[in-house]
Chain A
Amino acid sequence: MQATDRTRLRTQAVRRVSIVTTASSDTPAKKILMMGGTRFIGVYLARLLVKAGHEVTLFTRGKTPVTQKIASETDQEYAEYSSKVKHIQGDRQDFDGMKSKIASAGFEIVYDINGREAVEVEPIIDAIPSLKQYIYCSSAGVYLKSDLLPHFEVDATDPKSRHKGKLDTEALLQSKGVPWTSIRPVYIYGPLNYNPVEEWFFHRLKAGRPIPIPNSGLQITQLGHVKDLADAFVRVLDNPTAFGQVYNISGAKYVTFAGIARACAKAGGFPTPELVHYNPKDFDFGKKKSFPLRDQHFFTSIEKAKNDLGWSPKYGLVDGLTDSYNLDFGLGTFRKAADFSTDDMILEKLGIKVAVPA
């Protein structure tokens, strides 16, 4: 990050923090609309918000049950949560329908966990004139690939990225005049993860299979526990320091691809895994992905969030993966069944035999 602006922002950030910091536990109860909230991030976030005394309404299509008991809560906790959290059923792609459903509820805060395109967000803002803050789950995928890392919030973004919709949404939020905050996670992991990050590794470790890693395995990335992410989302609520700001949220340390495999092994009590390195260019995997992470360095600095929000990740990588294993993948649950077809292609070409357990 370049000096002039960072120093300026840092000086001003210090000033901002000294003017006002509102921890959410001191925040008066708010009427919150959450887009999503039934699959992963929102499951934890909604619980934190309800516990803090806010009135939370989840807007979902209803495909997934509105509430489900999760492994880390007691029956009592679940009963409290499920009795308090509210639900509006609807399709956020049906803009007019959605607007009519959310318009007169007096929502003050929107947590948009599953928005992808700017066109999906504008109707929500237009429908809620009383809106005090729009909090958006964006993605660190918006950053332009760089030789200088980590990515800081002020770094160049990539208008051609797969996450262009997130960028457009951030630009829209800026243009609408409503106070907004955008959170840019890197790779999120934790119990209930439906993106095969840790699941991919756990499948192979459980099967006693070697783990195929593209190229050197020195690619550096960053995993962030979903509970730390939820905590960050709570800290920006009604926090003027966070108005108009974007925050990278992820783990305190980065990790190499090879390191993730070893960390997952430690988390699940598996022996040190055999890693097999291959060049993806030597293969045609068709539509299948041979590895769950993008084949490049991809990591961010979280110091802005630490400074502005007083937030810091509670989970180290092995601790966090252990939590995920103990509460989810180690219990035998998974989202996608194991598919070793690309692994087998790789191993065959490299002449490596897999010992099939009896």
Chain B
Amino acid sequence: MALSLQFAVSTPRQASLEISKLTPGYIASSLSLRSPSASSLHSLGTSSGIAGAVKKSSRRWRAAKTVAMAAAANEVSNRKVLIVNTNSGGHAVIGFWLAKDLVAAGHEVTVMTVGEESSDKMKKPPFSRFSELRDLGVSTVWGDPKDVGAAVGGKSFHAVLDNNGKDLDAVKPVVDWAKSQGVEQFLFISSAGIYKTSDEPPHVEGDPVKVDAGHVGVEDYISKSAFKFWSSFRPQYMTGSGNNKDCEEWFFDRIVRDKPVPIPSPGIQVTNIAHVSDLSSMITLAIGKPSASNATIFNAVSDRAVTFDGLVRLCARAAAKEAKIVHYDAKALGIDAKKAFPFRNMHFYAEPRAAKEKLGWTSSTNLSEALKERYEEYIKIGRDKKDIKFEIDDTILSKVG
């Protein structure tokens, strides 16, 4: 459905007045929808989010926004950037999107993927799509973090991002190499999982972290390595095309097959699912504004929490289907929630406050839109036809009764 909401705005005050008019009722009358419920309109994103759906495809809009933000904000331009990228897992997709955003912002990019180009791992996304990067002029190489120099030849870089290691063993060689090469800016993909649990969400930058966590050791080492500029980025969960690890697919698998969706009680646990472009735009800004981003830790997340139950509802709407949620007490039933459910069974919610305050970054994640795009791709590649065994689900459902 193409939605078009237009209103003449000539002053900022008018803009905010117009936005504040966007109640579901107002939108309903503007769009002449047949008595939509407030909640179904809200499912299109927030009321003002419908304006966000105007005309532009979200992907084109995101790219345009990234370029605009980078161009408007730069301290530096035309940087030579090396991304040391993991060859698997949830963070793999970050390097893919970041490379594209950096090129759009006018930088020169090399992606060094850990391991061998001939490895079976390279048959999975995003690696299977690296020709898209090369078409943009990105140099794609393979190698060992213990010998980055060999992989990149004699190339020198202004900025190096390690999107690979979880501890000092893996990252120290990259840090030391970068230091020896006179790299100005070192950036690290850490994890929001290092925050200590708290009664007071969200996790904000500066909150206490688990001192024994591998990522903490890395952040510490980088901060003390006397780079001219350094930053660390702490992500949570990501969705987006080219993802190496399932995220929303777990929900689609069940919804499309009309299977109940088992959710650990009570279902109101909150998490943060960002579109990967939120991370790529944030890191791109940090590279374009090294002074502003220096010595700073950034939560690399969207700025909205979603509950587990809410995520089921959003995935169901994306699939245009009904979903049945079944809550279960994992502990009481002797179920290992880590195996049964894709997200941490607790409140796990960080907010990107440092990025907003220091980089002027804004989140562009529209989870409803993102899930619709992901569902289209899910169907396109035939995952709905895949034969899946739901052994753990069946155990849960039989125990719940």
A contact set with B: CB distance below 8 Å: 1-10, 12-16, 144, 146-150, 152-160, 170, 174, 215-216, 218-220, 243-246, 253-256, 258-259, 262-263, 297, 301, 303, 317
Residues of B contacting A263 with CB < 8 Å? 199-200
Q: Does B16 make an interface contact (CB < 8 A)?
A: yes
List chain B residues, Cβ under 8 A from A255: 199-201
Give the contacts of B72-95 with A (CB-CB under 8 A).
Answer: none
Residue with the highest number of chain A CB atoms closer than 10 Å, among B39, B52, B306, B356:
B52
Inter-subunit contact A2/B268 (CB<8 Å): no
Interface flag for B46 (CB, 8 Å): yes
Binary CB contact string for chain B from 195 to 208 against chain A (1 if under 8 A, 0 otherwise): 00011111010000
Residues of A within 8 A of B15 (CB): 8-9, 12
Residues of A within 8 A of B307 (CB): 147, 297
Docked pose: A42 CA to B109 CA in angstroms: 58
> Would you call B363 an interface residue if the criterion is a C-beta within 8 Å of the partner chain's C-beta atoms?
yes
Interface: B23 (CB within 8 A): yes
Q: Is the CB of B12 within 8 A of A220?
A: no
A147 to B54, CA, bound (A): 23
Contacts A3-B364, A156-B42 known; A147 to B314 CB distance under 8 Å?
Answer: yes
> Could you tell me if A244 and B13 are in contact, using CB atoms closer than 8 angstroms?
yes
Question: How far apart sit A150 and B349, CA to CA, in the bound complex (Å)?
Answer: 11
Partner of A154, one of B20, B266, B270: B20
How many A-B residue pairs lie within 8 Å, measured between CB atoms? 155
Given contacts A148-B306, A154-B48, 20 further A-B contacts (CB under 8 A): A3-B364, A3-B365, A4-B52, A4-B61, A5-B52, A10-B360, A12-B12, A144-B42, A147-B314, A148-B304, A149-B270, A155-B48, A159-B38, A170-B20, A174-B17, A216-B265, A218-B269, A244-B20, A255-B199, A256-B347
Bound state CA distance, A262 and B200, in angstroms?
11
Nearest CB on B from A147, distance (A): 3
Task: From the candidates B12, B41, B50, B367, name the one contacting A13 in the complex (CB within 8 A).
Answer: B12
**8 Å CB contact of A156 from B38, B269, B311, B362:** B38
- Number of chain B interface residues as a range: 35 or more
Instruction: Report yes or no: A146 in contact with B42, Cβ–Cβ below 8 A.
Output: yes
Collect the chain A residues with CB atoms within 8 Å of residue B362's CB: 3, 6-7, 10
Question: Separation in Å of the A144 CB from the closest CB of chain B?
Answer: 6
Closest to B65 in A: A7
Give the docked Cα–Cα distance between A303 and B227 (Å): 32
Contact of A2 with B51 in the complex, beta carbons under 8 Å: yes
Tell yes or no: B25 within 8 A of A by CB: yes
- With a cutoff of 8 Å between Cβ atoms, the chain A residues found around residue B198 in the complex are 259
**B141 contacts the other chain (CB 8 A):** no
Interface flag for B313 (CB, 8 Å): yes
* Closest B residue, CB atoms, query A13: B12
Query: Which residues of chain A are within 8 angstroms of B363 by Cβ–Cβ distance?
Result: 1, 3, 6
Supposing A154-B20, A157-B23, A159-B25 touch, asked if A220 and B201 sit within 8 A by C-beta, the answer is: yes
Distance in Å: Cβ of B172 to nearest Cβ of chain A: 34
On whether A259 and B20 interact (CB within 8 A), knowing A2-B52, A5-B52, A150-B305, the answer reads no
In the complex, chain B residues whose CB is within 8 Å of the CB of A146 = 42, 46, 310
User: Residues of B with Cβ closer than 8 Å to A?
Assistant: 12-13, 15-17, 19-25, 38-39, 41-42, 45-52, 54, 61-62, 65, 198-202, 204, 265-266, 268-270, 303-307, 309-311, 313-314, 347, 353, 356, 360, 362-367
What are the 6 tightest A-B residue pairs by CB atom distance, in nearest-first order? A147-B310, A259-B199, A2-B49, A12-B12, A3-B364, A4-B52
Chain A residues within 8 Å of B17, by CB: 174, 244
Give Cα distance in the complex from A153 to B366, angstroms.
17
Select which of A9, A158, A174, A216 is within 8 A of B38 by beta carbon. Answer: A158
Interchain CB contact under 8 A, B356 and A5:
no
Measured in the bound complex, the distance between the Cα atoms of B202 and A303 in whole Å is: 14
- Chain B residue nearest to A5 (CB atoms) is B48
Q: Tell me which residues across on chain B come within 8 A of A246, comparing CB atoms.
A: 20
Q: Is the CB of B24 within 8 A of A256?
A: no
Chain B residue numbers with a CB within 8 Å of A259 are: 198-200
Query: What distance in Å separates the Cβ of A10 from its nearest Cβ neighbour in chain B?
Result: 6
Task: Give Cα A16 to B45, complex, Å.
Answer: 26
- Cα distance A170–B23 in the bound complex, in angstroms: 12
Cβ contacts A to B, 13 pairs, < 8 Å: A2-B46, A144-B42, A147-B307, A148-B306, A149-B270, A152-B46, A153-B20, A218-B268, A246-B20, A253-B202, A253-B204, A256-B201, A301-B303
Cα separation A155 to B49 with both chains bound (whole Å):
9
Q: Nearest chain B CB to A36's CB is how many angstroms away?
A: 25
Minimal beta-carbon separation of B182 from chain A (angstroms): 35
For residue B36, give the distance in angstroms from its CB to the closest CB of chain A: 12
Compute how far the CA of A254 lies from the CA of B304 in the bound complex, rounded to whole angstroms: 13
Given the known A-B contacts A15-B12, A147-B306, are A220 and B48 also in contact in the complex, defined by CB atoms under 8 Å? Answer: no
CA distance A76 to B17 in the complex (A): 44
Known: A148-B304, A220-B347. A303 touches B20 (CB 8 A): no
Min CB gap A183→B, angstroms: 14
* Nearest residue, chain A, Cβ from B68: A7
Report B-chain residues with C-beta under 8 Å of the C-beta of A216.
265-266, 268
Within the complex, the shortest CB–CB distance from B82 to chain A, in Å, comes to 29
Q: From residue B269, how far is it (CB to closest CB) to chain A in Å?
A: 6
**B266 & A220 in contact (Cβ 8 Å cutoff):** no
Contact indicator B49/A149 (Cβ below 8 Å): no
Cα A68 to Cα B12 in complex, Å, equals 42
Task: Evaluate contact between A9 and B19: CB separation under 8 angstroms.
Answer: yes
CB-based nearest A residue for B13:
A244
Contact call B309/A147, Cβ cutoff below 8 A = yes
**Shortest Cβ distance from B353 into chain A, in angstroms?**
8
Residues in B with CB closer than 8 Å to A148 are 46, 304-306, 310, 367
Give min CB distance, A270 to chain B, whole Å.
15
Q: How far is the CA of A170 from the CA of B65 in the complex (A)?
A: 32
Partner of B200, one of A3, A254, A297: A254
Do A5 and B19 touch (CB < 8 A)?
A: yes
Partner of B304 from the list A1, A12, A153 (CB cut-off 8 Å) is: A1
CB-defined contacts of A174 to chain B, threshold 8 Å:
17, 20-21
Asked if A244 meets B269 with Cβ closer than 8 Å, knowing A1-B46, A2-B48, A253-B204, the reply is no
Q: Are A155 and B25 in touch, CB under 8 angstroms?
A: no
> Could you tell me the distance between the alpha carbons of A303 and B352 in the complex, rounded to whole angstroms?
11
Chain B positions within 8 Å of A15 at CB level: 12
Q: Which residues of A contact B266 (CB under 8 A)?
A: 215-216, 218
A7: chain B residues at CB < 8 Å are 65, 362, 364
The answer to whether B38 touches A144 (Cβ under 8 A) is yes
Bound Cα distance A152, B20 (Å): 11
Q: Is the CB of B13 within 8 A of A243?
A: yes
Residue of A147, A156, A256 near B47 (CB, 8 A) is: A156
Task: Tell me the smallest distance from the CB of B26 to a CB of chain A, in Å.
Answer: 10
Contacts of B199 in A (CB 8 A): 255-256, 258-259, 262-263
Contact of B51 among A4, A149, A253 (CB under 8 A): A4
